[in-house]
Structure 1
Amino acid sequence: MSIEKAKNHLSRFGAAQRVLEFDTSSATVELAAQAVGCEPARIAKTLSFRTNGGVILIVTAGDAKVDNPKYKARFGCKAKMLAFDEVEPEIGHAVGGVCPFGINSGVTVFLDESLHRFETVFPACGSANSAIELTIPELEQFSGYKAWVDVCKGWREA
């Protein structure tokens, strides 16, 4: 089960016991924000893409949207999200529970600058009814991210 993979991964950092499991779905940004009791922007959504170099995850703030020109400038290809039925076999977690913890080998994780606004954020933990509250340094450490990227729009104040 995906949540067990995520918990197993988080246990290496002594954080598995911090995983929150809900009686209701947290599969979307809005549902997750309701479940944890925070603003939607603080939900750290994890998006999966296919690039020329393989499969990647980009963890973004809940209110951020991928900016295609920025994405292409950073990754050298058009933003192409994985199809619904590709996500679980490629990433190791199903849609609604995708997170950067306990993922398949060969998947590269990037963190988007939109997350830097917050002290803590809430990524999913492998299921459509889970999350964990992490500081940004914890997210960096636990995700094994490769780099910070700036590939989103819609979150900066005008």
Structure 2
Amino acid sequence: EALKIIEKRLKKSAKRDELDVDPEDEREIAKWAMEKYGSEVLWLLNFKNDKNFYTWNNPEDKDESLSYDLVCRGLEWLSGTHRIHKYDILLERFLKQGLKPQNYEHYLQAFKYGIPSEAGFSFGLERMTQQIFKLENIREATLFPSDLKRIAGAKIQSGPVKGEDLIVDKIREVLNNRGIKFDFFEHEATVTSEDAARVRGTKPEEGVKALILKDKKMNGGDENIMVCLPGNARIDMKKLEKITGGKYSFETPEEIKEKFGLEVGGVPPFGSILGLRTYFDKAVLSEKYSSFNCGSKYKSIRMESKDLVDVVSPEVVEIMQ
């Protein structure tokens, strides 16, 4: 029903291969809920079957899965499912989705011995807080937010990785281990966003560039951060200063090579893997997919934007000109 409403309002086909709604869909269905019912929140229920490897399909409708989202003002607040708890069914789903069970042994091992049926949801408390109070930065309300230097970075790795090949392999490992779908490309070296889109066969507006900056105030021990934004956008340093409290400039290509083993143009938007506090401009989420070089000027990845934000756990802010 939601997809049909979106199709009518946005002229986007309700028949799609994707198993989820994208950010544009969420914003539009939220507008509909407000116009029709005067409600800022709505539930999205029963997504397509085989939505992911761990969710049961609906026994009463083979085309649906037992899953749901809660959307408020066009932003997903929580997502929940009835999870598969039977080992043989999980294994079958892994193989059906092209995943390698040996890469998920840490997840599968408990199911071999039997566990109760389980269901539930997870929600983004900080994104909820930021939206409810219309904050520019979650630190206006949360003293110790989940970020690279606290909880979020731990779900990717325990320490930074250095060097092109190691970083490319680490990113692919992280995505595979979490069951996140992505396309991997090997291509000629690219310089501009237009070149990158051409060799990948993707839309230019999907491109995400990752910039490494240094804090000019820190003498002798510059703190680096990463800022990610659409490939055709420019960073607003004054907005960044207001958010971070620091005065930043671009790190030099020589220092990027020395510190991270990367060439400019190959830097991936995975600041957490590099040990960097990371900021994403919210415009990255305006496109369903994100495409980016993944540690090398010769290698790229295309994946869903919301999956990228989920796995990197950046601070999502407004820092574009």
User: In which range does the TM-score fall when normalised by the shorter chain?
Assistant: 0.7 to 0.9
CA drift at 1:120:
0.2
Residues 52-73 of structure 1 deviation map (CA, whole Å, 9 limit, x = unaligned): 5821111110111011221221
Q: 1:40 to 1:100 in 2, by over 3 A?
A: same
Q: Which residue of 1 aligns with 2:38?
A: none
Superposition map of 1:65-104 within 5 A = 65-101=234-270, 103-104=273-274
Match of 2:200 in 1: 36
Distance 1:54 1:150 in 2: 21
2:320 aligned residue (149, 152, 158): 152
Report how far residue 25 of structure 1 moved. 1.5
Secondary structure, counterpart of 1:124 in structure 2: strand
Which runs of structure 2 are paired with 1:6-155 in the superposition (5 Å)? 6-14=168-176, 18-22=183-187, 24-51=188-215, 54-101=223-270, 103-105=273-275, 107-142=276-311, 144-153=312-321
CA spacing shift, 1:91–1:75, aligned 2, 3 Å = farther
RMSD: 2.3
With over 3 angstroms needed to count, the CA separation of the structure-2 counterparts of 1:17 and 1:68, relative to structure 1, is closer
Q: Is the 8 A contact 2:257 2:263 kept in 1?
A: yes
Deviations 1:84-103 (A, max 9, x none): 10112333422110013484
Partner Cα separation in structure 1 for residue 227 and residue 182 of structure 2: 25
What SS does the corresponding residue of 1:89 show, helix, strand or coil? helix
User: C-alpha distance in 2, partners of 1:64/1:100?
Assistant: 15
Pairwise CA distance, 1:30: 2.0
TM-score w.r.t. length of structure 2: 0.43
1:2 paired to 2:164? yes
Query: Which digits, 9 at most, give the CA deviation of each residue in 1:28-60, with x for residues without a partner?
Result: 312111111233221100011012582111111
**Structure 1 residue 79: deviation in Å?**
3.1
Instruction: Name the SS of the counterpart of 1:109 in structure 2.
Output: strand
Counterpart contact for 1:111–1:149, Cα < 8 Å: yes
Paired letter, 1:7: D
Deviation at 1:17, TM superposition (A): 7.6
Largest Rg, 1 or 2: 2
Unaligned residue ranges in structure 1 (runs of 5+) = 154-158
Specify whether residues 69 and 12 from structure 1 end up closer, same or farther in structure 2 by C-alpha distance, changes over 3 A only.
closer
Q: Give 3-state SS (helix, strand or coil) of 2:296's partner.
A: coil
Identical columns (%): 21
Question: Do the aligned residues in 1 keep the contact of 2:210 with 2:226 (CA within 8 Å)?
Answer: yes
Letter in 2 for 1:151: I
Aligned equivalents of 2:210 and 2:309: distance in 1?
14
Inter-partner Cα distance in structure 1 for 2:253 and 2:212 = 10
1:95 aligned partner, one-letter code: V
Deviates more, 1:11-20 or 1:131-140: 11-20
Normalising by structure 1, report the TM-score: 0.82
In structure 2, list runs of 5 or more residues that go unmatched.
1-162
CA drift at 1:115: 0.7
Tell me, yes or no, if the aligned pair for 1:27 and 1:129 is still in contact at 8 Å: no
